[in-house]
Chain A
Amino acid sequence: MIEVEGLRKQYGDLVAVDDVSFTAEPGAIFGLLGPNGAGKSTTIGCISGLLKPGAGRVRVLGHDVMTEGPLSRRKLGVVPQELALYEDLSARENLAYWGSAYGLRGSHLKKRVNSVLELSGLIDRAKEPVKKYSGGMKRRLNFACGIVHEPEALLLDEPTVGVDPQSRVRLLDLVREQSKNGATVLYTTHYMEEAEHLCDRLAIIDHGKIIAEGTLPELRAMLGERDILRIMGKFDPNIVFETLSQLEDIEIVQADEETITLATPQASTRLSDILMEISEEGFEVRETTLTQPSLESLFIKLTGKELRE
């Protein structure tokens, strides 16, 4: 478990992280989502012990990072945003070195090195110097170095930045596997889709503050976001407009003779009522599409700007 309470970090006049609190549970992936410069890496830095928090409290697996630094770091894995590898050494040598930094040795170290080489798909080129690797391979090795010691808590700071789609899929699978194995995973990203598909719970951070936190449905509900329901068939737009307007909390975005677009909360639960009303008027429905609003739109609504700005 990773517990962060009232974390604050200031560089001169700039408050990088301001009163940040959240809890990442074991066996789940907690996403920290925000644009560049929002304070994600600073938060990760404070949790990992790289940076000294100005205020607040951070506990990793029950150990306070300030007072029990080495203990909290022993079972913590960190995958930094930048590649932190020795390019002159091979993948095996890199892994062996970082494994030894976490106290692994002898046959156990060898076993773990082989295991993560296998997991990351680098076993065939394990003896080559890292400088000969592609960007995606380096990313996977960077990740492997963070998990070689089987951490119980894992901090991932935008691990898929600049990675090709194939390596990205592989990396995300590796992250899920860590979570499945019971590790607490804290994952920072500014890729909305990644967060949507990967994270069990999310916190949206901007200007050093957490502006929203919850599961994906909770976030949507919290923000009053509506699902988009598109109905295709043969309609009289005026009658449809009149009929559906009588239903509660439904916004007709667009209606013509072939398509009706509605915005409504929890559209999946209300779909049967809507379709019944339409069919009672004698119109034919051929196809329906339900689109849940994306985090991107949530972020825009919350901050008034796009995530990648």
Chain B
Amino acid sequence: MRFVWTTALKDWRRHRRNPIEAAIWIGIPLLVGFLIALAFGGQGGHTPQAHVLVADEDNSFLSQLLVGALSQEAAGGFIRAEEVEQDVGRLRMDKGDATAMLVIPEGFSQAVLLEEPVALQLLTNPSQRILPGMVEESLSILADGTFYLHRLMGEDLRTIAQGPPPGATVFGDAAVAALSVRVNQLTQRLGEYLSPPLIQLETSIDEDQEEDDEITFGFLLLPTILFMALLFIAQGLSEDIWQERTRKTLRRVVVSPQHILAFLVGKIMSGAGIVFAVCLVALCVGYAYLSLSVTTLPLALVWATLSGAMLMTGMLTIQLFATSQRAGNILTMAIMFPLMMVGGSFFPFEAMPKWMAAIGTKTPNGWALQHFKGIVLQQTDPGSLGLAFLGLLGVSTVLFLVCAWRLRRGFAQG
């Protein structure tokens, strides 16, 4: 037993003196997590906004109404309109200062009221792809709005556009009153459809969906990054058996009075210790950041540590059956990356197609990860959790026995 402990201590010392190794194990998952958070717009990102320069050559009430409509909050606030002189605007567009430039020609207001053809000129920035399209779409919606307004109030609009009758400077009281009455009647008629909109929503509550809605993106990322780190650690630590062999230290153990199994247990213990330390830090940070219930932390820590030890023993088994160190590395890498991708340790299951997530939960890391989430969210009942623990220990024991058999049957003597 003492040799188990001294072997574990010896390995801890060795790994502690190799900071690059640890940086790879932890750094890559953190980097990948950061990139995924960026790609999925995780937290703290700004809503993209289109910057539209408007050259209003008409300078009428209607043209100002158009500028206001473009940048109103109801449009999602994704357009910021800035009025400029046309020549200044063109210069700024040449420099790529804005998403688009809208030129409202002189006579725009009159043309709209009389329903005559008029062309708005929209210059877009070719270096941007999505935002100019959105601006164009917004203008198109406004144009459609104008068309329908004409269908409803075309006569009155034309009357307004033509101005007071010949010989008068303003509309007479009777004309204004008649126009007001028609507008009021129209508003009342449309009101029952538009305010509130006559849309009936049938609502049904999907309980699972409701639970998922409570899970933040940060929570989805925590187990993903943690299990990615566990896979990296498992692969890295498993490779150490080849170091022991090539440095002939494994032979020295074989010729000592100690049993090779004690050495193997010591190595796995040291690996489990490293996994425990990484999990402890990751979970403490994660729990604090995501405000998770601390009562689940010890169990989550034990589960993650045992899962890491199981993954390490699995990788070690593969290394022990490889014909060379190089072959062992290629094999474990070739197994690790697909496991990572499919098993929810690169992308969260929630971001995967359902069929892939279903396969992923059957992988060793995916299975362990699902249980880990269950523990953290307190969604696992003690019975099934107990079974899962038994399963984890069972698989680990089988893998350990296979490793021990292979070590004694030739690997250590090589």
Contacts and interface: CB of A to CB of B under 8 A. Distances in A.
- Please indicate whether A and B come from the same complex rather than being unrelated chains: yes
B14 interface: yes
A49 B258 CA distance: 12
B18 to A, nearest CB: 7
Nearest to B252: A84
B189 interface: no
Interface string A255-293: 000000000000000000000000000000000000000
Interface string A184-196: 0000000000000
Question: Which of the listed residues A78, A88, A102 has the most CB atoms from chain B within 10 Å of its own CB?
Answer: A88
Interface stretch (B77-85, B141-149, B243-251): B243-251
B256 interface: yes
Interface in B1-35: 2-3, 6-7, 10, 13-14, 17-18
A134 B17 CA distance: 20
Given A50-B413, A97-B6, A80 B252 contact: yes
B247 A100 contact: no
Given A49-B255, A102-B256, A85 B413 contact: no
Interface of A: 45, 48-51, 70-71, 73-74, 76, 78, 80, 82-89, 93, 96-98, 100-103, 105, 129, 145
25 contacts: A49-B255, A50-B251, A50-B254, A50-B255, A73-B257, A74-B257, A80-B248, A80-B251, A82-B248, A83-B247, A84-B249, A85-B247, A86-B247, A86-B249, A88-B17, A89-B13, A89-B14, A89-B17, A93-B10, A93-B13, A97-B7, A100-B2, A101-B6, A101-B253, A105-B2
Interface string B221-264: 00000000000000000000000000111011111111100000
A-B residue pairs, 10 tightest by C-beta: A84-B248, A101-B256, A48-B255, A84-B252, A73-B257, A100-B6, A70-B257, A74-B257, A88-B14, A82-B248
Nearest to A51: B413
A86 B255 contact: no
Contact of B256 (A85, A87, A88, A98): A98
B256 A86 contact: no
Contacts, number: 69
A96 B17 CA distance: 18
Contacts of A100: 2-3, 6
Interface string B383-414: 00000000000000000000000000000010
B247 A88 contact: no
Contact of B10 (A70, A97, A102, A145): A97
Given A80-B248, A100-B3, A129-B17, A89 B10 contact: yes
A145 B248 CA distance: 13
The B interface is mostly helix, strand or loop, or mixed, namely helix
B249 A85 contact: yes
Contacts of B247: 83-87
B255 A73 contact: yes
A164 B253 CA distance: 28
B355 to A, nearest CB: 46
Contacts of B14: 86, 88-89
Contacts of A83: 247-248
Contacts of B251: 50, 80, 84
A101 B248 contact: no
A145 B252 contact: yes
Contacts of B258: 101
B266 to A, nearest CB: 10
A96 B2 CA distance: 13
A49 B408 CA distance: 12
Contacts of B17: 88-89, 129
Contacts of A73: 255-257
Contacts of A84: 247-249, 251-252
Contacts of A93: 10, 13
